[in-house]
Amino acid sequence: MSEQNITLPDVGEGLTEAEIVSWHVTPGDRVEVNQVIVEIETAKSLVELPSPFEGVIGSVLAEEGQTVEVGAPILTVQTAVASTPESAASASAATTGAVAPETIPAGPVDDAEEAATDAASSVSPSEDGEGSVLVGYGTGGHATSRRKKGLAARRPAPPASVPAAAAGPVIAKPPIRKLARDLGVDLAEVEGTGLAGEITRDDVVRKASQASVFRNIETPAWGDSREERIPVRGVRKAIANAMVSSAYSAPHVSLFVDVDATRTMEFTRRLKASPDFAGVKVSPLLVMAKAMIWAVRRNPMVNATWTDEEIIVHHFVNLGFAAATPRGLLVPNVKDAQGMSLLELAKALEQKTLEARDGKTPPADMQNGTITITNIGVFGMDTGTPILNPGEVGIVALGTIKQKPWVVDGEVRPRYVTTLGASFDHRVVDGDVASRFLADVASIVEEPALLLE
C-alpha cells in the first residue's frame, strides 16, 4: 500500500482558491476511479471532483467550509502501487502523465465537471492502445483527440423512458439537488434527460410543475437564533468586489425612457408559434438583446473599455446578461453576438441561462464582456439604476411589461408599456451618445420590424 496526496486542482482563469462545500467520502471508505469525492466552490462555479484512482480513503485534510489554496493537499488515499521503479513510473504515466506519483492533482475544473456526470466508464483506452486515460484527468497527448470524438459518443445515456431510479444511482449536480429540495421533488422519481442520464434543471421544474426557480414555495418561520451570520466568500465576495470597484471607479450617469412595447409582445407571440422556434425560449428579452446589438453599431462608443491610457472601442459584441441564480448574481456573456441570427441568439441566451442556474458557467464565459443587459422586469420592477459590469461602459435594464393607458393618435388606449433604464461610464459616453443609443434601443422595442432593415 502507498499513500497518495490529492491536491486541489488548478482551476485556471485567474482563480487561486476554492471552498470545500461537502465531502462525499470519509476515512476508511473505498473509492473507485472517477467516483465523486468532494464538491468545491470557486468564485465562478460549483464543481464535483472525482477520484483519480482506486483505493481506500486515508485522511481528510480540509474541512467543509474551509477555503483552500490551489495545490494544497485535501485528501490522502491508500493505493496498491507496484514496488519496482519501472512499474511505479508506468502507473504514474497511466494516471497523471508528467505529475509526480506521490502528488496527484484532482484535474482541471472543466474536466472534473465532465467526469462527474460521466457514467459510461471509469477508464478509457488511449488511441494507440498503450496505457489508459482516466476520465476527467486525461494525458497531455490525447486530451484533444478524445474531446473531438464528442461527449455523446462516450456517454451512452439510458433509455429516455427509464426513470433515474430504475437506470441506477441518481445523477444530479448539487444545484439541481438543492432545487429539487426547494420544490419538494423526489429525484428518484425524475427522468433524467442529460447526455449521461443526469437530471437537469428543466427535468426538476417540469416534475414540480413550477414556472420559476425563484417563486417562493412557502414563507419560512423565523429561526431559533436572533441573527444569522453569512461568511463573505465565493460568489458573494466576487460580486461585492466587482460592484465596489465599478461604483467607485466609473462615474455613472443614468437615463430612463418609457416605451410602448405592444408590438414587441405581438412579435414574441409570433416567434413562439413559429416552427423554427419550437422548443426554444422566446421572451421580450430576446428582442431587447437584438435591439442593443443593432444600436451598438449605430453608437459604437457604448461598446468600449476605459483604461487610464486609452479608450478601446470594440467592433464586436460580447453581450452580457445578468442572471439571478441560487448562488448569486452571475453575468455570463454571449461571445460575438453581433453575427448571430435571432434563432441563434435565442438558443445561446437559453443555454447560458441554464448553465448559470445549474452552476456550470465556465469562468471564460464571464470575462471580456463588452455591454450588458439586465431583466429586472421578471421580478415585477418597473425600472432601476443598474451598476456597470466592471470593464464595460454601458448597461441597460428592461423593466416589467404591463398594460397601461397610453395615448395613441390622440386617444387613450390600453398598451403594453415598459421602462428602459440605462447607466453609462461618463468618462467614455457623453450624454448625447447615451441618449441616442437608448433612443435606438427604444425604437426597436416599439417596432421590431426595424430589425429587418
Backbone angles phi, psi at 168, to 5 degrees: 135, -160
Q: Which residue has the higher pLDDT, 147 or 390?
A: 390
Rounded to whole angstroms, what are the CA distances from 18 to 37, 49, 365, 376? Answer: 15, 12, 19, 30
Q: Which of 24, 142, 252, 426 is catalytic?
A: 426
pLDDT, tens digit, for every residue of 305-317?
999 899 999 999 9
Residue 49 has pLDDT above 50, yes or no: yes
pLDDT, tens digit, for every residue of 235-279?
778 878 888 888 888 899 999 999 999 999 999 999 988 999 988
Q: Which residue has the higher pLDDT, 321 or 16?
A: 321
**Is residue 315 flagged as an active site residue?**
no
Mean pLDDT of 182-204: 81
Band of residue 192 on the pLDDT scale cut at 50, 70, 90: confident
> What pLDDT was estimated at residue 219?
67
pTM of the model: 0.57
pLDDT, tens digit, for every residue of 352-376?
988 888 878 888 888 899 999 999 9
Q: Which three cell numbers stand for residue 348?
A: 445561446
Backbone angles phi, psi at 390, to 5 degrees: -50, 135
Mean pLDDT of 146-166: 41
Mean pLDDT of 282-302: 95
Q: Which residues contact 61 (CB under 8 A, 6 or more apart)?
A: 72, 73, 74, 75, 76
Domains of the chain: 2-153 (2.40.50.100), 164-208 (4.10.320.10), 250-452 (3.30.559.10)
